[in-house]
Structure 1
Amino acid sequence: MQDFPKPDAVLGAVIDWLRDVAVPNLPPHAAFEAKVAANALGLVARALDAGPAETAEHARLTALLGRGGGIEDLTAALSERIRSGEIDLATPGLADHLWTTTLDKLAVDQPKFAPYRRVRTAETQEG
């Protein structure tokens, strides 16, 4: 196994190069495509960093449903229980799970989304 460079450092270097070097020197359409590629790589980098959040999501799902399984299976089971009315927002832990999972997904998909940033800033100031 390689020690250096770390995968996140490689991704960061490629993203920086695309944004800082390639985009300014490309024709408009190619520059647009390079920006899209840089954004896609940024999403990949954030997804790779999301391991702890995914582990926590799995633990919350396991606790809510009272059984184990893969995260996709557990999410589908939770959705079905909500849809059927078996559980709702009065179920202990459900609202917290939904809120936390939403914020964790926004951290990967849309970290610059203004409402998300306001919530995270407020959490930082409270904590």
Structure 2
Amino acid sequence: MKKLVFFSLIVVALCSFKFYDEPNPLLGKWEWKKVYKKGPMAIMLLFRNNGTYDGFANQKSFVTGTYRLKKDTLYISDPICNSKYEGTYKMTMYGAQDSVRFDVIADTCKGRVEGANATVYKKIKAVK
């Protein structure tokens, strides 16, 4: 009986560590939209399998950088502040991994924090 309980605990622990390891839940296009007094704003992020990403504001490119994931933590860098410095964000996935929220852990890049902290992006579905 003790062996069965111990084995069950091991299986549960191993399953919990695999949540973000495979596949990469950020791959693809993500979008955030808001309407301001001056008009609508749409931010689209494209995360690639090679660890690079692009950011678009109202369909115009504004940033290209690199990222990496470690479980539920996103490490991201870009030349807007310093491409050698990585900001660190807690990543929370919702639903069927079709929404993601980023919460700053540590980032001295004011522009990136303002654009990402506590922001929920929705996955853009591929059109068939």
TM-score bucket (shorter structure):
0.3 to 0.5
- Provide TM-score, normalisation by structure 2: 0.33
Which has more radius of gyration?
1
- Higher normalized strand content (fraction of residues): 2
- Higher normalized helix content (fraction of residues): 1
- Provide TM-score, normalisation by structure 1: 0.33
